[in-house]
């Protein structure tokens, strides 16, 4: 009796292994991880000692043919090439900050081209590329157009038929206890169509009873809720004592003239994540990859989330370890694809593109809890912040803020 053929995968830009972990849970065998960051490499080795790490880890220093050799694979033998090139050149926040629509000039965009060079050499059965929603934010769609053009070139040269399908998903729609929107681009070598996976979970306030309710922050980390905090989760910095005054699920906007707090800030003059807090009864806000003393989401008790809580919200198992200090762990977790979303796409690829019968229930999402307590009661604003109360100008709009004005002045000086 012959055994089923192995479903092989190569992971590019592996990071802490979130996507890899999910795809492995869905039945794919990891043949090689390509990751340049040494701390992330340590995380991969800690958790998956049998996985092979490419040497060198820099995708720009490793030829596609050498990469296949290290994976012990030949062209067209690879089932799945997966990876999420660094997303900053295509992020909406980056666009908001710079107003620059020519983001492919950013050196980091070279990583997308490197991914496609490997597609040309390996000609995998399926490609899976993950990025933030902003990859298609610009009207010019630079990243997406580069992808389409290069895949067309590969198709002509290699007689393949890669047709990219752009899928936008919110992780909360599939049982991840976090609202996290990302774009996934899939294509099969044979040109097969890929449908967006049907959501399994819904916002109970909008779903009218259909499907399962969203899993919440309490479902993910409620059992870790304690009254005594360790020093590593105590908030610090100028705004630490303001956190307890913000209700669950709100951010600094609570303390503007349009909301229910004191007018301490101008409307939309800060990033959304500034002093952002979780609500127990809703999915977490997106876990950020750039931690800062005032960057949320924060715990509903007004403290930082622990590494284990961050990992739970991202659907990493409790036995998953992260190398480095707390900041390094936070960055790795925030940059990761939630493993449950990797599991989802792995199962859908097997079903839709490989023609296999697979389970539908995800193993990596938490169970629903029934003991969610009422929201925390906000505290009064400490006296040291009261001098900020008063009239504040709102943000004037995209491209008109202080940062944009400084850039415009700088450009004017250079032009002279």
The SS3 call for residue 296 is coil
C-alpha span between 86 and 76 (Å, rounded): 26
User: Is pLDDT above 90 for 314?
Assistant: yes
Q: Which residue has the higher pLDDT, 320 or 133?
A: 320
Contact 128, 82 (CB under 8 A): yes
**Alpha-carbon distance values, 321 to 83, 305, 329, 330 (Å):** 21, 16, 9, 12
pLDDT of residue 131: 82
pLDDT of residue 345: 98
C-alpha span between 274 and 35 (Å, rounded): 30
Q: Which residue has the higher pLDDT, 52 or 415?
A: 52
The SS3 call for residue 226 is coil
C-alpha span between 40 and 323 (Å, rounded): 7
9 forms beta bridges with 30, 80
Question: Superfamily for 8-205+338-353?
Answer: Vaccinia Virus protein VP39 (3.40.50.150)
pLDDT of residue 109: 59
Domain boundaries, the chain: 8-205+338-353
pLDDT digits (tens, 9 = 90+) for 79-134: 999 998 875 544 444 433 334 444 444 545 588 889 999 999 999 999 999 986 65
User: Is pLDDT above 70 for 312?
Assistant: yes
Q: Which of 33, 55, 87, 372 is catalytic?
A: 87
**Alpha-carbon distance values, 297 to 276, 309, 328 (Å):** 5, 11, 17
Largest alpha-carbon pair distance within the chain?
Answer: 79
Q: Is 55 a catalytic residue?
A: no
Radius of gyration of the chain (CA): 23
Q: Please, what is the Cα angle at 346 between 338 and 327, to 5 degrees?
A: 20
Q: Report the chain's mean pLDDT, rounded to a whole number.
A: 89
Residue identified by tokens 């008109």 is 400
* Per-residue confidence band for 404, with pLDDT thresholds at 50, 70 and 90: low
User: Is pLDDT above 70 for 262?
Assistant: yes
Model pTM above 0.85:
yes
């Amino acid at each position: 009796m012959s055994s089923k053929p192995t479903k092989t995968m190569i992971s590019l830009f592996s990071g802490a292994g979130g996507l890899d972990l999910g795809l492995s849970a869905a039945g794919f065998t990891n043949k090689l991880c390509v990751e340049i960051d040494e701390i992330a490499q340590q995380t991969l080795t800690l958790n998956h000692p049998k996985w092979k790490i490419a040497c060198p880890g820099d995708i720009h220093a490793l030829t596609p043919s050498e990469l296949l050799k290290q994976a012990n694979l030949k062209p067209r033998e690879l089932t799945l090439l997966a990876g999420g090139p660094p997303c900053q050149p295509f992020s909406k926040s980056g666009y908001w900050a710079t107003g620059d629509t020519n983001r492919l000039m950013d050196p980091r965009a070279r990583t997308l081209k490197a991914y496609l060079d490997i597609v040309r050499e390996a000609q995998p059965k399926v490609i899976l590329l993950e990025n933030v929603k902003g990859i298609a934010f610009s009207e010019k769609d630079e990243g997406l157009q580069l992808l389409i053009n290069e895949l067309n070139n590969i198709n002509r040269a290699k007689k393949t038929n890669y047709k990219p399908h752009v899928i936008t998903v919110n992780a909360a729609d599939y049982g991840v206890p976090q609202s996290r929107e990302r774009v996934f681009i899939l294509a099969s070598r044979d040109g097969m169509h890929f449908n967006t996976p049907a959501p399994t979970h819904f916002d109970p306030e909008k779903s009218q009873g259909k499907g399962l309710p969203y899993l919440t922050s309490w479902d993910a980390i409620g059992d870790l809720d304690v009254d005594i905090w360790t020093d590593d989760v105590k908030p610090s910095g100028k705004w630490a004592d303001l956190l307890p005054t913000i209700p669950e699920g709100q951010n600094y906007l609570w303390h503007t003239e349009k909301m229910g707090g004191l007018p301490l800030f101008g409307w939309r003059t800060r990033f959304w994540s500034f002093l952002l807090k979780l609500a127990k009864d809703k999915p977490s806000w997106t876990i950020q990859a750039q931690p800062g003393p005032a960057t949320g989401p924060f715990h509903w008790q007004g403290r930082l989330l622990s590494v284990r809580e961050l990992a739970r919200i991202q659907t990493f198992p409790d036995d998953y370890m992260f190398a480095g200090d707390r900041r390094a762990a936070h960055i790795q977790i925030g940059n990761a694809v939630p493993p449950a979303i990797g599991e989802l796409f792995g199962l859908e690829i097997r079903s839709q593109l490989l023609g296999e019968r697979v389970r539908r229930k995800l193993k990596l999402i938490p169970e629903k809890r029934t003991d969610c307590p009422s929201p925390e009661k906000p505290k009064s604003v400490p006296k040291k912040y009261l001098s900020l109360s008063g009239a504040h100008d709102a943000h004037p709009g995209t491209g008109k803020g202080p940062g944009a004005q400084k850039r415009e002045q700088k450009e004017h000086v250079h032009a002279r």
